[in-house]
Homo-oligomer: A and B are copies of this chain.
Amino acid sequence: MPKPDTLPSSFRPAANASAASPASPSTLVTPVGGADGRVRAVVEAVLPCVDGGRFAAKRVAGEPTRITAHCFTDGHDVLRVALQWWRDRDGNANTAPAEATEVAMEASGNDEWVADFTPPEPGLYRYTVSAWVDPFESWRRELERRVDPQDIRVAARVGAAEALAAAQRASAARDRSDLTDWAQALERGAQAEGDADMLKALALDEAAAAAMRRHPDRRFEVRYPDALPLRADRERARYSTWYELFPRSTSPTAGVHGTFRDVEARLADIAAMGFDVLYFPPIHPIGREQRKGKNNALAAGPDDVGSPWAIGAREGGHKAILPELGTVQDFRRLVVAAKEQGLEVALDIAFQCAPDHPYVKEHPDWFRWRPDGTVQYAENPPKKYQDIYPFNFECDDWRGLWGELKSVFEHWIGEGVRIFRVDNPHTKAFPFWEWVIAEIQRDHPDTIFLAEAFTRPKVMHGLAKRGFTQSYTYFTWRNTKHELTEYFTELSTGPGSEYFRPNAWPNTPDILHEHLQGGEPAVFMARLVLAATLAASYGIYGPAYELLEHLPRGPGSEEYLDSEKYQLRHWDLERPGNLRAFITRVNQIRRENPALHADHRLRFLHVDNDQLLAYMKHSADGRNIVVTVVNLDPHHPQSGWLRLSAADIAATAPSTSDMPASQPAPPPADWQMHDLLSQQRFVWQGDAHYVLLDPHRSPAHVFVVRRRVGRHDDFDHFE
């Protein structure tokens, strides 16, 4: 046994842990994973985490990102836990670099630890968590409970050893000397057999503790094996309001091909309606070979303009502009003019070729050739799409193909575009998307990609995991209360909520849902309110939507009659009954209510009528609460009792685990419901509230909830 006056080995100042292991007979003893066997802390379940770290969770730059982990150790020792995060500039940094930022994590109960970090700018980040058993804190916590004088003396000497070890670790000379002094004082006090209470007070000295905490013993630190990726986007990735427009239909004169200059004249109007993204179908030269005619006729007439998605002709391909729309200078001017109105131009990227696309001649190896010497066009037997040649992603020159397709994005980024709506990404190889989005966002972190994939759930999720910033959804086909409740509950709370950002569209040039084909304004209004308040990002295909365009090409068809996809249209924007004022108001409500700027924190409310859908959203700080009620029946007034209690409203306040500093507000006895559509105000109290919506007046309430701040029953006292 060691003599009392020599420090036993376990109290020797820390040397390098791995070097400290003596030769042992059991040289085959190696912990699973290969760490030092003395590492006793455990880190598990670091969140957010998508597919075990294979894909990035998505957040927004400038906003706190909450990281949680399960950390514990054997026995009762005190654990310390730290979050490390860093910008990952090359996309594969799995170990924390020297410039990683470290943040102490706090225990939030049940062995769960929590910390926030705020990605300062758009980009890819990584984070990991490390933990260690803290001998000093463990010693200090035990000391606080000690009462026996002899125990306190022994503990003081243990503390002295810890202090000497910390002094050796200290880089600052001041800490070094302070800790050495403190260690000597503790030793002297322990030897002196004097007042144990005074010795305990010395051992619990706060200044000494602070110095000790600056030099923790992290020899036996464990680090979570994965550095998890997190993609921070700019705010528009989370909250955006899209307007889709065919530039060729914007001429003020019927029958004349619209131009970018014509679009410029529309910008103020579109911005005034409250949109912030202006999205164009493809603007490239349109193939002449196999061109489709009006209403998708197999043969085009000489005046037919063709489908913008049949990309490429002798004038050029994916980097060229259809001459009828204008020049590249016109396009640049338009991008700048839009920006001045608060509108961002989004382009449609459809990676497919018309038969006369220059690629077909220049890169025949990018296409699949049939034994009869023709190119394999798109088909789904017996259906054929002879005007579309898909790329062959299994071609030998896949590297050349990928590089060229990437350069298409880069070309338009060079022209000032930062938002791309990608056409049918689910018919192109998944590894390509993962690569190209990472490449583009590495160099241009503010780029946004919207996936137009209307396909099976796992395929849509697969695209979102691989980098698409936003995704089209099934919203267009979800109409009943049950469908909408189930779908948006999944979107807002399911695993996809970490990476799949819905962008809800009541219509698109491809989808005129049966529901809209009756042309009732109440349906158009209800569907718009649903999209605009259920989803933080939504869009309409206009002017078809605000003008209540509703005739299908034929019975059972979801295609528009005389669709702009195949012909010019001339829209009478002032047509009576148009929804422009309504859309303007809804978008204004969206802008003014942060509750509607995120997809999380959505909660459906019970109404005892299946035609009435009600839900509540609130802002991260709990200060803005919006309750929307929609009558899904366009024909009849519907009424019912909506359940909403003071406790429900109080629950929107950030909980202590969400925001440690604040306290939940006491539940109000009553509160005001201010319908931002009708400007009516109601005072509600209790748990059940009568609501009635007449679709001939308004199919929806969009209430902001105002809490009572005054003591009297006076509307002015809500805020």
Chain A residues packing against B (C-beta within 8 Å)? 1-4, 7-11, 20-22, 24-27, 29-33, 35, 37-40, 42, 44-45, 49, 51-54, 70, 72-76, 91, 110-112, 133, 142-143, 145-148, 151, 153-154, 157-158, 160-161, 190, 220, 225-226, 364-365, 368-373, 379-382, 392-400, 402-403, 426-432, 434-435, 438, 456-459, 462
Q: Which residue of B lies closest to A147 (CB)?
A: B382
Task: Tell me, in angstroms, the Cα distance from A395 to B42 when the chains sit together.
Answer: 18
Q: Which of B44, B220, B370 is within 8 Å of A154, CB to CB? A: B370
Q: Which of B225, B373, B431, B462 is within 8 Å of A32, CB to CB? A: B431
Q: A9-B396, A73-B430 are in contact. List 4 more A-B contacts (CB 8 A).
A: A32-B435, A37-B399, A44-B51, A74-B426
Chain B residues closer than 8 Å to A432, beta-carbon distance: 31, 37
Q: This chain: how many copies in the complex?
A: 2
Query: Known: A1-B364, A110-B457, A435-B32. Contact between A371 and B10, CB under 8 A?
Result: no
Decide: A22 and B370 in contact? CB cutoff 8 A: no
Decide: A29 and B110 in contact? CB cutoff 8 A: no
Chain B residues closer than 8 Å to A35, beta-carbon distance: 431
Decide: A372 and B157 in contact? CB cutoff 8 A: yes
Q: Which of B10, B27, B369, B429 is within 8 Å of A369, CB to CB? A: B10
* A284 → chain B closest CB, angstroms: 22
* A654 → chain B closest CB, angstroms: 25
Q: Which of B11, B22, B371, B431 is within 8 Å of A4, CB to CB? A: B371
Chain B residues closer than 8 Å to A458, beta-carbon distance: 44, 70, 72, 110-112
Task: Tell me, in angstroms, the Cα distance from A397 to B8 when the chains sit together.
Answer: 13
Decide: A400 and B25 in contact? CB cutoff 8 A: yes
Chain B residues closer than 8 Å to A153, beta-carbon distance: 372
Chain B residues closer than 8 Å to A112, beta-carbon distance: 458
Q: Which residue of B lies closest to A3 (CB)?
A: B373
Decide: B75 and A427 in contact? CB cutoff 8 A: yes
Chain B residues closer than 8 Å to A29, beta-carbon distance: 398-399, 402-403, 435
Chain B residues closer than 8 Å to A52, beta-carbon distance: 49, 52-53, 226
Chain B residues closer than 8 Å to A382, beta-carbon distance: 145-148
Decide: A462 and B72 in contact? CB cutoff 8 A: yes
Pull 24 A–B residue pairs with CB atoms less than 8 Å apart, ordered by A.
A3-B373, A8-B369, A8-B371, A10-B395, A22-B397, A24-B397, A24-B403, A30-B435, A37-B429, A38-B398, A40-B429, A40-B431, A72-B456, A72-B459, A72-B462, A111-B457, A112-B458, A143-B381, A147-B382, A148-B382, A154-B370, A157-B370, A161-B371, A220-B394
Decide: B373 and A434 in contact? CB cutoff 8 A: no
Task: Tell me, in angstroms, the Cα distance from A541 to B255 when the chains sit together.
Answer: 92
* A536 → chain B closest CB, angstroms: 26
Q: Which residue of B lies closest to A37 (CB)?
A: B398
Task: Tell me, in angstroms, the Cα distance from A74 to B399 when the chains sit together.
Answer: 18
Decide: A38 and B148 in contact? CB cutoff 8 A: no
* A683 → chain B closest CB, angstroms: 37
The 3 nearest A-B residue pairs measured at CB = A52-B52, A26-B403, A157-B371
Task: Tell me, in angstroms, the Cα distance from A364 to B10 when the chains sit together.
Answer: 11
Q: Which residue of B lies closest to A393 (CB)?
A: B40
Query: Known: A31-B431, A145-B382. Contact between A10 and B394, CB under 8 A?
Result: yes
Chain B residues closer than 8 Å to A462, beta-carbon distance: 42, 44, 72
Decide: B26 and A402 in contact? CB cutoff 8 A: yes
Chain B residues closer than 8 Å to A394, beta-carbon distance: 10, 38, 40, 133, 220
Decide: B369 and A2 in contact? CB cutoff 8 A: yes
Q: Which residue of B lies closest to A381 (CB)?
A: B145
Chain B residues closer than 8 Å to A225, beta-carbon distance: 54
Query: Known: A29-B435, A72-B459. Contact between A381 and B142, CB under 8 A?
Result: yes
Task: Tell me, in angstroms, the Cα distance from A403 to B218 when the chains sit together.
Answer: 25
Q: Which of B111, B133, B190, B430 is within 8 Å of A459, CB to CB? A: B111
Q: Which residue of B lies closest to A141 (CB)?
A: B381
Task: Tell me, in angstroms, the Cα distance from A461 to B322 when the chains sit together.
Answer: 63
Q: Which residue of B lies closest to A433 (CB)?
A: B74
With most chain B CB atoms within 10 A of its CB, the pick from A31, A110, A400, A426 is A31
Decide: B434 and A32 in contact? CB cutoff 8 A: yes
With most chain B CB atoms within 10 A of its CB, the pick from A30, A430, A438 is A430
Query: Known: A40-B431, A145-B382, A430-B74. Contact between A111 and B456, CB under 8 A?
Result: yes
* A486 → chain B closest CB, angstroms: 15
Decide: B21 and A396 in contact? CB cutoff 8 A: yes
Task: Tell me, in angstroms, the Cα distance from A148 to B384 when the chains sit together.
Answer: 11
Q: Which residue of B lies closest to A71 (CB)?
A: B458
Task: Tell me, in angstroms, the Cα distance from A37 to B395 when the chains sit together.
Answer: 9
Q: Which residue of B lies closest to A429 (CB)?
A: B40
With most chain B CB atoms within 10 A of its CB, the pick from A10, A400, A459 is A10
Q: Which of B145, B380, B427, B438 is within 8 Å of A74, CB to CB? A: B427
Task: Tell me, in angstroms, the Cα distance from A456 to B226 when the chains sit together.
Answer: 25
Task: Tell me, in angstroms, the Cα distance from A462 to B75 when the chains sit together.
Answer: 13
Q: Which residue of B lies closest to A428 (CB)?
A: B74
Decide: B371 and A154 in contact? CB cutoff 8 A: yes
Decide: B22 and A396 in contact? CB cutoff 8 A: yes
